[in-house]
Amino acid sequence: MKKFTSTLSLIVLVVLAIWQYFTDLTKTKNQSPSPVIKQMKQTKASEPKFEPQFETKRTDIEKSAVKNPNVFANYDVIMRDDPIGQNAKAPVDYYMLALSWSPGFCDIQREKYGDQLPYSSQYQCGNNRTFGWVVHGLWPQNANALSVTDHPRFCKGDLPALPKDLLARYLAISPGEQLLQGEWEKHGSCAFDFAQQYFAKEQELFSSLKLPNQSLSRNELFRWMKQHNPQLKNAYLGASRNELFICYDKKWQVMNCQSK
């Protein structure tokens, strides 16, 4: 009898031990992990995933536009596409204000393209446009230049597209977003810290001039300008087809343009 009782007690103890084991196991599964385990999991989750690093390839226009995501750079200018290229080391000795007779320029554009004007000319030469003289650009010049490539150009490299609202302020005197963008990148950046300073100086010089409202021959144009603008009376001016050039020293006083 005692032997039977001992055996029964042993069985009961084994059953209780098994029940206690599974009960503890269930509780452990339902409990949150220990702080140590939790910290290990968080550390593992926060570790950056290693991936091979490759340079994202972009076109030049994308590289320029991405610097200013608020504009669509269909008017941006790409330095590598410029036929003259960069000259960031040329000195700035004086300035040349280049004015363009818009009707003559637009006639050439229509002869070349018909009704399919390029984007760069649409604002200036589109239907119902009545521009007269406009600002082509304000160009820093090297007094010892022997060719156009010797003058300062793209001094700060390929710059990002300017905001449309900035360009819009100057379309009345320089009619084209691409024109303004290009003149800033190619010329303005060689003498001005900010595009707005450059455009404001163009506007100031342009506003100081009286200009004829009709097409004139070269000599007629020079006579008219000197007659109606006393500051130009003794200055040597320059001209090419549909363009007039007025030169200024570094103190913005009118000076003779070089004949070469």
Which active-site residues does the annotation give? 136, 183, 187
SS (H, E, C) the chain: CHHHHHHHHHHHHHHHHHHHHHHHHHHHHHCCCCHHHHHHHHHHHHCCCCCCCCCCCCCHHHHHHHCCCCCCCCCCCCHHHCCCCCECCCCCCEEEEEEEEHHHHHHHHHHHHCCCCCHHHHHHHCCCCCCCEEEEEEEEECCCCCCHHHCCECCCCCCCCCCHHHHHCCCCCCCCHHHHHHHHHHCHHHCCCCHHHHHHHHHHHHHCCCCCCCCCCHHHHHHHHHHHCHHHCCCCCEEECCEEEEEECCCCCEECCCCC
- Reported as half-sphere exposure (CB side, CA atoms, 13 A), residue 161 has a value of 23
d(CA 221, CA 244): 9
Neighbours of 30 (CB within 10 A): 6
